[in-house]
């Protein structure tokens, strides 16, 4: 989220320098600062537009979506599937598609408005959602879930086996992780408002064996982590997962 603000600020700053050069009719070489603005503005603007409206990369930090997504998967998220939103303020300006059952989507959970979560859409507005001994029932009818392994459906957590029934509110979605015993989801913090949707997970573009929550490391830890990736690129990269669609 903070990167959006940074990119927006840089785009405004460099754009202002370009505008200043045009207003004062400055030739190249007259102002180093304006020249930097002219060079950087197109690049920053392209990155900002791509990340805000087309696709954005994310890293999977936890095991809540195992086996579909592993810790260390790097994914691309389609930003326009659920409509075009203004960056930073998140206001939807163009309606396109609505989430469907089974979609893997990125969003802001209701209890953490500055942290991205990724879960699977289970219930749509108006649906009745219930778990009976790990089995999913939608509107009272059993619904198979081929993406959930039995070991993760029937774990040690009672909450992972039984829940509800609960009715999904209008304009909201009920989401759960595929690893039911390792997922904090709608069973814990409630349903996701459609205003908090970020996009649909599209594909895994790279995958590397790493520890959970590596994104929370200190600056020094991040440097060491990327150094480790460079050294162990061929031995710890999971090439078989690269460029696979997320279903």
To the query of whether residue 92 is one of the catalytic residues in this protein, the response is no
Question: pLDDT averaged over consecutive 10-residue blocks of the chain (247 residues)?
Answer: 77 83 76 82 88 89 93 94 81 85 94 90 96 92 92 63 90 94 90 93 94 68 78 91 94
Question: What does residue 88 show for φ and ψ, rounded to 5 degrees?
Answer: 75, -55
What pLDDT does 160 receive?
A: 58
What pLDDT does 95 receive?
A: 83
Question: Looking at 63, 64, 183, 207, which residue is catalytic?
Answer: 64
Residue 14 · residue 30 · CB < 8 Å = no
What pLDDT does 152 receive?
A: 79
What pLDDT does 103 receive?
A: 96
What pLDDT does 139 receive?
A: 96
What pLDDT does 118 receive?
A: 96
Question: Looking at 119, 186, 198, 214, which residue is catalytic?
Answer: 119
To the query of whether residue 119 is one of the catalytic residues in this protein, the response is yes
Cα(1)–Cα(170) distance, integer angstroms: 26
What pLDDT does 215 receive?
A: 61
């Amino acid at each position: 989220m903070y990167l959006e603000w940074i990119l927006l600020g840089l785009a405004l700053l460099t754009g202002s320098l370009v505008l200043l050069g045009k207003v004062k009719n400055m030739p190249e070489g007259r102002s180093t600062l304006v020249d930097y603005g002219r060079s950087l503005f197109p690049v920053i603007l392209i990155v900002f537009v791509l990340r805000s409206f087309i696709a954005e990369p994310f890293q999977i930090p936890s095991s809540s979506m195992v086996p579909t997504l592993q810790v260390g998967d790097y994914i691309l998220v389609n930003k326009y599937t659920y409509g075009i939103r203004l960056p930073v303020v998140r206001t939807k300006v163009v309606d396109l598609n609505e989430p469907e059952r089974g979609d893997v989507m990125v969003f802001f959970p209701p209890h953490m408005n500055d942290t991205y979560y990724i879960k699977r859409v289970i219930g749509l507005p108006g649906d009745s959602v219930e778990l009976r001994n790990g089995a999913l029932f939608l509107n009272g009818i059993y619904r198979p879930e081929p993406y959930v392994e039995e070991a993760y459906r029937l774990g040690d957590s009672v909450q992972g086996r039984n829940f509800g029934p609960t009715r999904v509110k209008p304009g909201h979605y009920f989401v759960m992780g595929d690893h039911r015993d390792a997922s904090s989801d709608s069973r814990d913090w409630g349903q996701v408002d459609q205003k908090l949707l970020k996009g649909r997970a599209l594909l895994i573009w790279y995958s590397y064996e790493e520890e959970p929550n590596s994104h929370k490391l200190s600056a020094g830890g991040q440097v060491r982590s990327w150094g480790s990736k460079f050294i162990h690129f061929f031995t710890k990269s999971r090439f078989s997962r690269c460029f696979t669609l997320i279903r």
